[in-house]
Structure 1
């Protein structure tokens, strides 16, 4: 029964992935990867760090429906030395906030906290070229509130990122949830058990298109579709800074209100993560 629910949850992302040409980029060698890891900073950006603001497309626009969203995310390498099975240990912390900046007192509607601890491993092909990066980690996500407003869940996650050709990157993620029944027992009907993210480099260091797909466990349309467009307006790529437009369509954008359907278009500033730039040999 659980296997059937897992397959149902990730069926759409897998179908999309089947239509991607299986042509991997020429990755760096195993030795070059080990040398590069030694030069990586211990502290770095994990997910995108951004501040964006916008309005809904499926309801009236006013100070109650328009808002801002921002995210702060970082990663700390515990060790750059290879652990057993050539893995490395890391912790991450991400904080996503929904801010009602158009209301008189500028209140925060909700803040979601997402700390993790895990191990990562580089995957090489038979020619000792870097093929992808996998991670296994424990993560907790909550809104930091109590009583009837408390929303939280824990999961053991498996993630794999690889390159297809020179411009397309795919990230697949599945999770095994636990300790989530209190306050949000049906959250998997909206979050599902996995997600797929595809990122296409239209113009290097200038223009990117990214799509995230997530399907809930029910047979209906519950889930999420989140396209993003990144554009660098600067003449040079200054510290990975971009303008970003995001359209979030679906459920579970936040933990507190994970059931209602959302359609929000937001635009703003982002410092784009480049933690997996080694996949391109950078």
Structure 2
């Protein structure tokens, strides 16, 4: 696992704030009639204006294959994750996941939100909120000396405590992050699948940064990849939601690198110490 110095974590915080700004700018343009390609252009402009580099554009490129064709992953309704920006036009009642990454001085930030397009059905709004709650419960479980499985267990517990039943996507997980967007360790959203029980897996130590990202479905979580080799959709065609933040744990507490306030307000609601590094 890559452990960052305090200065490197500060660079990741800079990247995290660029990601936050890009998502905020994109959210401001979400409306019926806009295409995902148009939204992607908004994020691209925000990232480049900040002097940063998009993490996703060209990701996965190998000889003869250009990699991901977008600055953001924009996933609508049945699209779980990795939706490629294009000609799909948003309509009232859609659920949209905006996933964005940026690099500053070689250090990455990665975050995602799910937003309603106009008025949405109550069950879709509840799905998104359950996913957001699960993310924050997972974040709140991260502590020095604990284990990655504690995060997984907290996400799973949160989902199972919801009044409605949701599918938890197993194949796509959180991850370490730093000088590369995806690094060890994996952060699963089902503890029983990977670790068997809590208090297993890699130990959380100072300098480790993690992206925590539950993905829930309104129906069955089984999924497949479309012919574009990127977009993941539910097998039953029912909607999904996705929330994500990049975090680190300092000696003082938790620091959410991709939250505008560093996570201070949400952590206070959970009764968890907020622990940013001093500038």
Common fold, TM-score beyond 0.5?
no
Structure ranking higher in helix proportion: 2
Higher RCO structure, 1 or 2 (CA under 8 Å, sep 6+): 2
Query: So what's the TM-score if we normalise by structure 2?
Result: 0.28
Q: In terms of Rg, which structure is larger?
A: 1
Structure ranking higher in strand proportion: 1
